[in-house]
Amino acid sequence: MRALALIALLVSSVAMSGPVFRKWRKNDQRRRAITVVMDLHLSDSPPGAIADNSRNAVAITYTRAGSRTCQTSSSAFITLSANQPCVVGGAVLIEDDTTNYAIYSDALDDSSWSASNVDVAPNTGTGPDGAIDAELLSSTSDGGYLELATDFTMTGTLATASAWVRANDVTLSDAKIVLRDTTAGSDLCTTTQSVGTDWTRISCSSSSATSGHAYRIRLYPSAAGQADAYFTAVQAEPNSVATSYVPTGGTSTTRTGDLISFTTPSNWPTSTGCISVTYKPESTSTAPNTITVNGDGLNSMNHFGASGNGWYLNIQSSKVLQLDHRISNSPSTVASAAQTWSNAAPYVLKATWGSSVASLYRDGSALATDQAITTATSNNSTYFIGSRGNGDRFAWGWISALKVGTTRTACD
C-alpha cells in the first residue's frame, strides 16, 4: 500500500431516528486518491451516541459530563445523556459550559414565580421535548405577566433571556420576554414576537449587563392586550445568544462543554499538509468574548502542555481567521485574514502549508497565499476538534466535516 496520504473525519447526513453515517467503502480510497478514509458512525439508540469505533480508522472520543439538550428542529428539542453528542442535519454542535440562572425553569407554577394579572395553569401542555409540563399563562388584564420573583446575578457584560412559547389556539402577535435589571430599575433587554401554535423559542440579549446587579425575567402572553399562551424552558445565561437549554430546579444549573478528540496518528502532517473544516457559527455578535468562537475556539490541534506542538486552524475573537503552529509551547501565526461572519450558512475553511509557505481559504476563495513559514513543527499526541481541549476556547457552533492531509492538495 502507498504511504498514508489523508485521514479524514467526515460528518455526513444525520437522522436522529436511525443510523446517521454511511458505511465506509473500500473503493473510497481509490476514488479520493487517498489510502485511508474514516467515517464517524453514530448509533440510532440512544440518539447521538458515538458507536463502534472499530469501524473508524481513528477512534473518536466524545466526552461531556452530565446530560444536555439538543434542539432537533425549530420547534423541538431532546435530552441526551452524558457523553452523547448533539448531532443534527449533518453537523455536531460544540458549546462551552453554560449556566442557566433562571430557577424552576419548567415549573412556572412554583412560588419562585410571581403572577401579575395573569393566571397560571400548571402542566397543561405538551412541551417542545414531549413532556406534559408546559404552563398555560392567561392574561386577566392587558399586559399581564409572570415574573421570576427571585433575583439572580450574572458575571460579565453579556446576558440573554429565553423561553419556549406557543399560542393556545390562535396566533399571538405580541408574546414578550423581558430581562429586567432590578438593581437599576430598568429593562436590560426586551423582545416582542409573533408566535403561532407551534413551539417557538423567543429571546432577548444585551452586551450591557453589570456584574453583581440583580436580574429577573418577565413573560407576557401579550405585551399590550390579553391572550393565552404556553410557556416552558426558561433560561437566563451570560452569553450573547440563547444556547442549548439547561433545565433547572431550585438552584442554577451548569451544562458542561463538548469535547471531541482522538489520538494523533504517527503520519499526521508536519512540514507539509492541510486542514479543512466545515463550520457554522451559532452567533455573530461583535462584543468581546461573544464572537462565534471565544478566542481561538476552532483549534483543531491540542497546542498546550509540556511539548505544545501542532498546527491549528482557528478564529480569533477579533473575527480573524488564521493558521497557527506552535513549537515547545511558543505560538506563531502563519497566515491570517480578517473576515465578516454570518450564522445563515456553514463556511468551508481551509489552510495549506508546505516546506516554506502557507495559504488560507474560505469557501474556495484565497484569503492569504504563500505566507512564509519560519519554523517547521511536530504534532502533539492528541487532536481536539472545536476546542483547545483544556476547558476553554470552544467553537460555539456546528462542525460538519474535518479533513487533515499530508499534502497541500489532499483537502481539496
CA distance 59 to 125: 43
Contacts of 121 (CB under 8 A, 6+ apart): 135, 136, 138
How many CB atoms neighbour CB 253 within 10 A?
A: 18
Q: What is the DSSP letter of 139?
A: E
CA distance 5 to 56: 16
pLDDT band at 184 (very low <50, low <70, confident <90, very high): very high
Please write the tens of the pLDDT for every residue from 83-112: 888 888 777 888 888 999 999 999 999 999
Report which of residues 126 and 280 the model is more confident about. Answer: 126
Vertex 195: Cα angle to 143 and 167 (nearest 5): 75
- Read off the pTM: 0.84
Contact 118, 146 (CB under 8 A): yes
The three-class DSSP label of residue 31 is: helix
How many CB atoms neighbour CB 330 within 10 A?
A: 10
Q: What is the DSSP letter of 256?
A: P
**Residue at 299: amino acid letter:** N
pLDDT band at 31 (very low <50, low <70, confident <90, very high): very low
pLDDT band at 29 (very low <50, low <70, confident <90, very high): very low
- 29 phi and psi angles, rounded to 5 deg: -60, -45
pLDDT band at 15 (very low <50, low <70, confident <90, very high): very low
In percent, the amount of the chain with pLDDT more than 70 equals 75
Question: Which pLDDT score, from 0 to 100, does residue 143 have?
Answer: 96
Average pLDDT over residues 115-142: 96
N-to-C CA span, the chain: 22
What is the fold, at CATH topology level, of the domain defined by 6-97+257-405?
Jelly Rolls (2.60.120)
Contact 239, 290 (CB under 8 A): yes
Report which of residues 10 and 264 the model is more confident about. Answer: 264
pLDDT of residue 19 exceeding 80: no
Average pLDDT over residues 338-366: 87
pLDDT band at 377 (very low <50, low <70, confident <90, very high): low
Please write the tens of the pLDDT for every residue from 198-226: 999 999 999 899 999 999 999 999 999 99
Same fold, 6-97+257-405 and 100-255: yes
CATH class of 100-255: mainly beta
Question: Which pLDDT score, from 0 to 100, does residue 243 have?
Answer: 93
pLDDT of residue 301 exceeding 60: no
Average pLDDT over residues 147-159: 93
Contact 360, 336 (CB under 8 A): yes
- 100 phi and psi angles, rounded to 5 deg: -95, 115
Domain boundaries, the chain: 6-97+257-405, 100-255
pLDDT band at 393 (very low <50, low <70, confident <90, very high): confident
Average pLDDT over residues 266-280: 79
Sign of the torsion formed by the C-alpha atoms of 119, 172, 162 and 185: negative
